[in-house]
Chains A and B, each alone.
Chain A
Amino acid sequence: MTRVLRDIRNNLLEFVRTFGAFQLFFLRLLRHSPAILSTRFGLVIKQVYNTGAQSLVIIMVCGLFVGAVLALQAYSNMAIFNAEDWTGVAAHLALVKELGPVMTAILFAARAGTALTSEIGLMKATDQLSAMEMMAVNPVRRELVPRFLGGVIAMPFLAAIFSATGMFGAHIVGVELFQVDVGSFWQQIQLIGESADVNEGIIKSVVFGFAASVIAVWEGYNAMPTAEGVGRATTRTVVITAISILVFDFMITAALI
């Protein structure tokens, strides 16, 4: 029994220690961010391309189908009440407030987060980070901060693109397939939708951008410098990001209601 208690205590201590180190790491990234943004913006742009532009295909394809499914569901259920015109607004609200930011963040973790983690982990395993240290170049500043900022900048744009392609998918299903009147499909969105809905989506995608990027960079930087270690860190990036995104989503939604 005492062993069980001791294990629990040790695990708890370990968790608190890791969480503390994680927060310090996050602050370290933030501290270097202004300098990198003002003096080495080229490095950040390269990472926006690597994490953002390279994720566009998966984001757009998924967005299209998520929007289409939303319209299918909305139409078939609204039709019971003869409220087919509301198909558009249902898809719009679901996409902009919830699915856009959340799905984008999870897809981002799977596509770009894993790439960031394995890239940094491999740089560590092949002594590239040590080599930078030896060349008197701070690897956190030179390699980690631009990757972190790249993710932070890319995420809101990706979420917006996800929602936009999602609405396009909803339009195809609602208007082209089920013949909902195109005017009322979009008119309802203007009548019911508020700018607060869009703001909620933007707030979420910004927070998720910070969370997903810092987790990916942290996991890579702290990966065991072996093939197995980097593999495990990559898996952890996806799992931890997915969980934290959903927890943050709940907290933000609760705070904004």
Chain B
Amino acid sequence: MLSYAATDGPDWNTLGDYSENLIEIHDLKYSRGHRAIFDGLNLTIKRGEITALMGPSGTGKTTLLRLITRQLIPEQGAIFVDGIDISTLNQTELYQLRQRFGMLFQNGALLTDLSVFENVAFPLREHTKLSNRLIRHIVLTKLHAVGLRGAADMMPAQLSGGMARRVALARAMVMDPEILIYDEPFVGLDPISLGVIVRLVRRLNDALGITSIVVSHDVEEIATVADCSFLLSDGKVAASGSPDELRTANSELVRQFMHGMADGPVAFHYQAPGYEEQLLGRDIE
């Protein structure tokens, strides 16, 4: 079913069913400087599904991920993860919650002074007292899953962009998280690496029964992996539904975005004074 963003406020009495909804966002407001990034955002992410967050550049997709993981704090509204209001957590509780997350950063964010092996082993060494033998076993298994067991001794600087992202993915899943967050996983990859990552996202989600959140504006790739997509625009959810539903939607904005049209509700031109006026220098007179 395709549903458009509700314009009225959140209905606090009908907080969702947490056995089904893993993440719920209610009436979220967040601004940077004077610019409102989110203005009354409501969004639900279902357990066990791959949810895609899409939207034109600058709509705050990455910001939303940082809000969900409380790297940023909203001005207003509430974010519930598995029924817990994350704004109420102290640092220890927050870190406990974050251990249930795995996050793949856009550029991989590998620790440059550690080898590939040590990067993947990093969360295990920090959070567990496992023996070196067991850590080696787990790390090699995860590296094998992303096809980079042979690169274990390399340093991050020696890896290509696609390899770095796969290592980062191995690191993100080394603690067996319940929620995997991908920030623009498809950007800047060659078709082969892209295919590998797309298949991994799907396989990990289904095989391990985790919940995945994928931020992307790659409409084609998202269509092949996502169960549910949210299209963000102007600080709100502009539309949501399965990729097919979005594709056939008759909202102007959704059509522009899904079909990659240059001009439409999202203007091609950034706000500027009149073209003619500016060329003739009248705007500075």
Partner of B109, one of A127, A137, A138, A142: A127
Contacts of A136 in B (CB 8 A): 95-96, 98-99, 123, 126-127
Q: Chain A binding site: helix, strand, loop or mixed by DSSP?
A: helix
Asked whether A128 and B126 contact (CB < 8 A) given A134-B71, A134-B103, the answer is no
Residues B11-66 near A (CB distance < 8 A): none
Partner of B123, one of A133, A135, A138: A135
Asked whether A126 and B98 contact (CB < 8 A) given A135-B123, A137-B123, A137-B126, the answer is no
Contacts of B96 in A (CB 8 A): 136
Q: Is A94 an interface residue (CB 8 A)?
A: no
Q: How many residues of B contact A (CB 8 A)?
A: 22
- Contact call B71/A128, Cβ cutoff below 8 A: no
Partner of A135, one of B71, B91, B112, B126: B126
Residues B87-127 near A (CB distance < 8 A): 91, 95-96, 98-99, 101, 103, 105-107, 109-112, 122-123, 126-127
What residue in chain B is nearest A132 (Cβ atoms)? B111
Task: Give per-residue flags for A109-132: 1 if the beta carbon is below 8 A from chain B beta carbons, else 0.
Answer: 000000000000011001110111
CA gap between A138 and B122 in the complex, in Å: 13
- Contact call B126/A131, Cβ cutoff below 8 A: no
What residue in chain B is nearest A50 (Cβ atoms)? B113
CA gap between A137 and B123 in the complex, in Å: 8
CA gap between A136 and B69 in the complex, in Å: 11
- Contact call A128/B112, Cβ cutoff below 8 A: yes
CA gap between A140 and B35 in the complex, in Å: 30
B61 to chain A, nearest CB (A): 15
- Chain B residues packing against A (C-beta within 8 Å): 69, 71, 91, 95-96, 98-99, 101, 103, 105-107, 109-112, 122-123, 126-127, 171, 175
Kindly list 18 other residue pairs between chains A and B, CB separation below 8 angstroms, not including A127-B106, A132-B111: A123-B111, A123-B112, A126-B107, A128-B111, A128-B112, A130-B71, A131-B111, A134-B101, A135-B98, A135-B99, A135-B123, A135-B175, A136-B98, A136-B99, A137-B123, A137-B126, A138-B91, A138-B95
- Would you list 19 pairs from A and B whose C-beta atoms are within 8 A, ordered by A residue? A123-B112, A127-B105, A127-B109, A128-B110, A128-B111, A130-B71, A130-B109, A131-B110, A133-B71, A133-B98, A134-B71, A135-B123, A135-B126, A136-B98, A136-B126, A136-B127, A137-B126, A137-B127, A138-B95
Q: Which 8 A-B pairs have the closest CB atoms?
A: A131-B109, A127-B109, A136-B95, A136-B98, A134-B103, A136-B99, A135-B123, A127-B105
- Chain A residues packing against B (C-beta within 8 Å): 122-123, 126-128, 130-138, 142
